[in-house]
Structure 1
Amino acid sequence: MALRNTTSAAAALLCAAAMTAGAAAAGPADGASPAAQGAGPGEPDLSRLSLEELAMVEVTSVSRRPEALADAAAAIFVISGEDIRRSGATSLPEALRLAPNLNVQRVNAVDYAISARGFNGYEPSNKLLVLVDGRSLYSTLSSGVFWDARDVMLEDVERIEVISGPGGALYGSNAMNGVINIITRSARDTPGTLVSVGAGNEDATFAVRHGGRLGEAGAWRAYVSGFTRDDSYRLTGGDATDAAAGLRGGARADWTVGENRLTLQGDVFDHEVAVNEGFTGEETRVSGRNVVGRWTRPLAGGELQVQGYYDRFERTESGGVEDSDTWDVSVQQAFGRDRHRLVLGAGYRTVQSRFVAAPGGAFLDPAERTLSLTHVFAQDQIALTEALTLTLGMKFEDNSFTGQEFLPNVRLGWERPGGDLVWGAVSRASRTPNRIERDLTLPGFLVGGDFQSESLTAWEIGWRARPRARMSVSVSAFYNVYDALRTVSIDPVTVFPLTLTNFGAGETWGVEAWGSYDVTDRWRVSAGLSTLNKDLGAEPGMDISALAAAGDDPEYQVLLTSQTQITDRLDLDVRLRAVDALTPSGTDGYVEADVRLGWRFTDALELALSGQNLIGDRRVETGDPARQRAFGRSVFVSLRAGF
């Protein structure tokens, strides 16, 4: 679908939202309680905050210690729990579409490819680190995230911090192009009972959560949630036989004992998805469980945090059985001294990975591996003057495949008179090999090789400001230089077998910008833009894949959002996204619109009607020819009740 053929429809939707907002501009809301949002009693409502207050919301992902969003010297976008509620999203990947510095490509009914600053696609999207309450979702099998298995109860999300740009100095290798840090609410913030149900022509969901006190010092909650998702469409029409269903449950407890804060949480899930590259509809079972423990207390004029987690993942299908067991323990100490704000940390992770392939196909040799990762890091924020802050960070890692990695970072932030922040950064990051790149074998055709880490040197500059009382703006530009990118090489004598090698290199550059404007006390409009230019290639004669690892990316995408409070009890949200054609596949760009109308009948009861993908009859989001599926319009009705 050509973008110019749908622009008029997109403009009409925004105009309709504007007229509705103008009619509703009588004055501010009367301050309905947080329970009125349908999220449950006692939960925060960020939609009531001014842009100035939102700028002071604490984030932790940039420096691994709390700081105001306005002071964070990085390209960081925050998705609040209230943003998620008002989006009508029914899954975590759909909620991530709210971040203008992410490109989200839906692959089929449950699979997604998500990236920052390029390299997107189902297989190439392997340069983004995703965390849920400090637990990494990184896969040692493919370096990506299996989004069909990774989800959270969206009603429990406090915020999602999305950093585009390297995070290696704090988060290590594999935080190469960005970090998604998902932070859920404390059990203290979710007392009582929440029931959420929804159904539409494409999805059905439910979630039930209950929480309470644990004596005088603690609180707890437990939940169960589930979903069913209908088939996507073949490009030629008809169902793609990839319907899915799943169940998830978990619990969390938080205590405060003297100066000690303790958290224990865990989840289990069991999903039935489909392997549908050949439209067979063959069922695949994806399941897992995890438990996280965290202890925090003041120490030495700062704060000490110790965390450990265990994560079990299993996937069973006719082509093989994959499972992994991950144990991770980490410790960090944050403290201030004179002009210095220091964060020191260390950690150890071990992963027992197993992949048993069906006879006659490709397999991993060896089938089982135990991988380890050891790291230490340090970061110092130095107040050179009252307005100028220098950040020096570095991380040393030792991993099973490539040994030692050194990941430094230098940032400089200048707070100009009036509160504007101008910042710049130079960073080195890397992505270490995964098991497929080292161990994948198909006799006579492909053998495991000596694949090494991909590397990146990134230059960034940014500006964050509030030019007017009702306006906030963030703009950043980046220039990335990549080396040792993945290629596929032939044997110089016999042609076969092929090997995975590191003969790719090149540059990318672009701009990311977003901002919000409060037209009235009841109407907020937001916009986001990201651009990407790529000049990537391989050494002559050393790659037969046309550098497939470079991914398939749009040169630009635009997001427009209108959030309107029509009355004290009625909300209207309109979201538009325009995505350029993918390069190099040439998959058509598109413009789509999502609309949500929510009624809060009481402070604890909300009914909402959502429409998604309302402009185009069908669209394709990925250029992968083996996985291209089409998606159409959907309507979803949801009900949330808090007790």
Structure 2
Amino acid sequence: MSLLTIRRALPAALAGVLCAPALHAQEPHRDSSAESPFFEELPTVLSASRLPQVLNEAPGAVTILDREFIRATGYRDVARILRLVPGMQVGQERGHSQWVTYHGLGSDYPTEIQVLIDGRSVYAPSSFGGVDWSALPLTVQEIERIEVVRGTNSNAYGANAFLGVINIITRHSHQDHGASGQINAGTQGIADAQASWTGGGDGLGVRLSAAQLLDNGFSGLNDSRRSQVISLRSDYRINAQDEITLRAGYTHATRALGYPDTLFGNNALRPTDTESATAHFTWRRTLNADEEWLVSFYRNHEASTDAWFASAPPLYPAVPLNRNRSSDRTNGEIQHRFALSPQARMVWGVEARRDETEASFLFGGQKPPVFDLYRAFSNLDWHLTPDWQLNLGGLLEKNGSLAAQFIPRAFVNWQASPRDTFRAGYARAWQQRNLFDLYGDVRAYDPKSGVLLSWPYVSNPNLRTPRVDTLEIGYLGRFPSLDATLDVRIFNERISDFVVRQTVPSPTGPLPLPLPSSQFVNVDFPVELRGIEYQLRTKPWTGGEVLFSHTLIDRRVKDRATAERTSPYSATLTWLQDYGNGWKSTASLLRMGPLAGGYGYVPGYDYVSRPYTTLDLRVARSFRMDGRLVEVALNGVNLGSSHQEISDRSEQFLHPDRPVNPTSSMVWLSVAVDL
């Protein structure tokens, strides 16, 4: 479908909306799945508007990674899976450090996409924000599916859904019974073990999962990790209408960080310990197919120990630095969805949150303010005619001391035929700034004399909140003769008051160490991304499936360094093949254009990683042994020539002539058994 065709169709779509109320009174809503068996294959998504919607009725582009696909990749972590989603720009500074964004632009700890596990936000409220992808409180094996809303979705999930939503949905504990286990062993010290048990009865389901991941990361780097996770999901069906769910998880990770020769040891070699714990309770009352109440409450705790000594010999041989931090988040939510008529459904809800953080060194010896957040949201799904659908949404949000903000979204979907859907929409959103952007105040002192040596971060409590205005048109087409689906999104994302890190004069004048001070500031120009992304998914031959995704972005940004934080292109090609007799394979070719991820710890120093192509491969054989299903697989990632994905700018500053943290190929053998 060409851009010209879409432009010609859009005026007709808008005209249809204007005359729709009159038609609505004459015609009942048509169930497209009843007319075309082909549409029965379309999945239902939950994350686009908080209403269950067939994929072609969702207000925006949604990618679904289901359990079968996730298992077929053989990946050890969620972030690697997300590389196969159109528009996602993912990189690694080291083996256990994942940088995950949609359309780039992210800081060192990206916060532009809301990340949820069963509807619970996993953003770290402490200091930097972001998501610790290597320490999520769940195992890959318990994921039922991942829904990725590609585009602004703040009207449903608030400020952190600035450019999209990633909702990781775990498997219901009533779906399986029995035990399973898996071990991985391979190069770079890979030695993983995972086990899961599911049981219960009389309406009660319980699943307990535990895993340990161990590896040495990329060659030549201080990059080892050992992480343990234990998670619980229990679902209890009280009666035909009521069900309660408890989800709990705990993660502990020990990882190696730093480089041996960074400037004054500002990123020296060291170990770091991280732990997180969560408890999430939900009560769901389903009155009928069209009405449901949902009450949710969760509490998260996170803590990290990350301390080392900088040095500037001979005057200052040991200067203590740390990024120790801990945080607690308490969140409650009530949601109600119901039918207004046979043609219209609505969901509304309210949410309240409190974040408390301790990180003395990062905030000038002070405790940052408690952060309170309040939201009220509503979304309407209205079938104006059998072919025309209107999605309207709004969210009112009060973040901390900021004035309340209203976040709107409007989408129209046109079912041009049982196989072709066009959509067009507008959305506005604000991005929640993390505490460190606003109040970060880092100072290094000589422990003997108390002399201030360096002031690398200066607070800026007057930082304005970035805003994005998004226009998009899209197409979802089904082609039965090819057994194919084509999903296209054409977008214009215009961001005002974008935040960058900028060198500023030291508040106290020249300091003993010649390290510049810096501050987070708003730029005085818009950051505009225009482009197209699409994914073709087809089954062209028996047992074979091919996925091709491609993204092109025109970065209309006055500042070159800001523009380089988004890659102008990316592409993935994945081939899955079932050969029969238990043999399967998966091959993914990934291409990423030039990208400067984040801003690093040396303000003003720019570095762009070169374009690269890499290959991931998996070959597996399943068979039964004594009645038990066994799968043996050989897996490999980053196959081919080495490349750099995200540069550590502090180290790169000292070695501008070569990549300082190239990736390493990793190959491992996995054995999984269902008991």
Q: Which TM class, normalised by the smaller chain length?
A: 0.7 to 0.9
Q: What letter matches 1:143 in structure 2? A: G
Q: Aligned match of 2:326 in 319, 323, 328?
A: 323
Q: Aligned match of 1:232 in 198, 206, 218?
A: 218
Checking the alignment, whether the CA contact within 8 Å between 1:402 and 1:432 is kept in structure 2 is no
Classify the secondary structure of the residue corresponding to 1:554: coil
Checking the alignment, whether the CA contact within 8 Å between 2:648 and 2:661 is kept in structure 1 is no
Residue 467 of structure 1, CA deviation: 2.7
Residue 590 of structure 1, CA deviation: 1.1
Task: Decide whether aligned partners of structure 1 residues 408 and 537 sit closer, same or farther in structure 2, where only a CA change above 3 A counts.
Answer: same
Checking the alignment, whether the CA contact within 8 Å between 1:260 and 1:297 is kept in structure 2 is yes
Residue 526 (structure 2) pairs with residue 525 (structure 1):
no
Q: What letter matches 1:311 in structure 2? A: N
2:236 counterpart residue number: 255
Residue 661 (structure 2) pairs with residue 629 (structure 1):
yes
1:429 counterpart residue number: 429
Task: Decide whether aligned partners of structure 1 residues 568 and 69 sit closer, same or farther in structure 2, where only a CA change above 3 A counts.
Answer: farther
Task: Decide whether aligned partners of structure 1 residues 164 and 350 sit closer, same or farther in structure 2, where only a CA change above 3 A counts.
Answer: same
Larger deviation, residues 221-230 vs 581-590: 581-590
Structure with larger Rg: 2
Q: What letter matches 2:377 in structure 1? A: F
Q: What letter matches 1:440 in structure 2? A: G
1:37 counterpart residue number: none
* Structure 1, gaps ≥5 residues long: 1-50, 234-238, 539-545
Distance 2:621 2:523 in 1: 56
Checking the alignment, whether the CA contact within 8 Å between 1:297 and 1:304 is kept in structure 2 is yes
Classify the secondary structure of the residue corresponding to 1:510: strand
Query: Relative contact order: is structure 1 or structure 2 higher (C-alpha 8 Å, sep ≥ 6)?
Result: 1
Q: Aligned match of 1:346 in 344, 350, 358?
A: 350
Residue 65 of structure 1, CA deviation: 2.0
Deviations 1:406-449, CA, capped at 9 Å, x for gaps: 11101110111133110011000111221111111246665322
1:593 counterpart residue number: 615
Checking the alignment, whether the CA contact within 8 Å between 1:127 and 1:143 is kept in structure 2 is no
Classify the secondary structure of the residue corresponding to 1:366: coil
Residue 350 of structure 1, CA deviation: 0.5
Q: What letter matches 1:589 in structure 2? A: P
Distance 2:523 2:497 in 1: 6
Aligned-pair identity (%): 22
Residue 149 of structure 1, CA deviation: 2.3
Classify the secondary structure of the residue corresponding to 1:535: strand
1:620 counterpart residue number: 644
1:566 counterpart residue number: 579
Residue 281 of structure 1, CA deviation: 3.6
Task: Decide whether aligned partners of structure 1 residues 120 and 532 sit closer, same or farther in structure 2, where only a CA change above 3 A counts.
Answer: farther
Residue 144 of structure 1, CA deviation: 1.6
Task: Decide whether aligned partners of structure 1 residues 435 and 426 sit closer, same or farther in structure 2, where only a CA change above 3 A counts.
Answer: same
Q: What letter matches 1:355 in structure 2? A: A
2:632 counterpart residue number: 607
1:33 counterpart residue number: none
Checking the alignment, whether the CA contact within 8 Å between 1:556 and 1:579 is kept in structure 2 is yes
1:266 counterpart residue number: 248
Task: Decide whether aligned partners of structure 1 residues 619 and 365 sit closer, same or farther in structure 2, where only a CA change above 3 A counts.
Answer: same
Residue 629 of structure 1, CA deviation: 1.6
Using the size of structure 2 for normalisation, the TM-score is 0.81
1:485 counterpart residue number: 498
Classify the secondary structure of the residue corresponding to 2:134: coil
Distance 1:522 1:625 in 2: 45
Q: Aligned match of 1:138 in 123, 129, 153?
A: 123
Residue 485 of structure 1, CA deviation: 1.0
Deviations 1:21-56, CA, capped at 9 Å, x for gaps: xxxxxxxxxxxxxxxxxxxxxxxxxxxxxx957842
* Structure 2, gaps ≥5 residues long: 1-36, 262-267, 308-321, 444-454, 511-516, 597-605, 652-659
Distance 1:393 1:103 in 2: 28
Distance 2:81 2:40 in 1: 19
Q: Aligned match of 1:502 in 500, 522, 545?
A: 522
Residue 494 (structure 2) pairs with residue 459 (structure 1):
no
Checking the alignment, whether the CA contact within 8 Å between 1:328 and 1:348 is kept in structure 2 is yes
Distance 2:518 2:611 in 1: 34
Q: Aligned match of 1:305 in 284, 294, 297?
A: 294
Q: What letter matches 1:331 in structure 2? A: I
Deviations 1:224-259, CA, capped at 9 Å, x for gaps: 1001121313xxxxx211211011112111111111
Deviations 1:451-476, CA, capped at 9 Å, x for gaps: 12111000011000113331110011
Distance 1:613 1:445 in 2: 35
CA RMSD of aligned residues (A): 2.2
Classify the secondary structure of the residue corresponding to 1:348: strand
Classify the secondary structure of the residue corresponding to 1:83: helix
Residue 491 of structure 1, CA deviation: 6.5
1:26 counterpart residue number: none
Distance 1:621 1:366 in 2: 36
Aligned pairs for 1:22-421 (under 5 A) are 52=38, 55-120=41-106, 122-123=108-109, 125-140=110-125, 141-150=127-136, 152-202=138-188, 203-213=190-200, 215-233=201-219, 239-258=220-239, 259-278=241-260, 280-299=268-287, 302-318=291-307, 319-338=322-341, 339-357=343-361, 363-364=363-364, 366-421=366-421
1:14 counterpart residue number: none
Checking the alignment, whether the CA contact within 8 Å between 2:137 and 2:276 is kept in structure 1 is no
Classify the secondary structure of the residue corresponding to 1:520: coil
Distance 2:507 2:191 in 1: 56
Distance 1:563 1:109 in 2: 26
Classify the secondary structure of the residue corresponding to 2:49: coil
Deviations 1:530-570, CA, capped at 9 Å, x for gaps: 122212246xxxxxxx765x662321111111111111311
Residue 101 of structure 1, CA deviation: 2.7
2:570 counterpart residue number: 557
Q: What letter matches 1:137 in structure 2? A: V
Residue 585 of structure 1, CA deviation: 3.5
Checking the alignment, whether the CA contact within 8 Å between 1:379 and 1:394 is kept in structure 2 is yes
Aligned pairs for 1:540-551 (under 5 A) are none
Distance 1:337 1:363 in 2: 50
Residue 572 of structure 1, CA deviation: 1.3
1:5 counterpart residue number: none
Distance 1:533 1:494 in 2: 42
Distance 2:594 2:503 in 1: 29
Checking the alignment, whether the CA contact within 8 Å between 1:120 and 1:551 is kept in structure 2 is no
Q: Aligned match of 1:513 in 527, 534, 545?
A: 534
Moved over 6 A (4+): 491-497
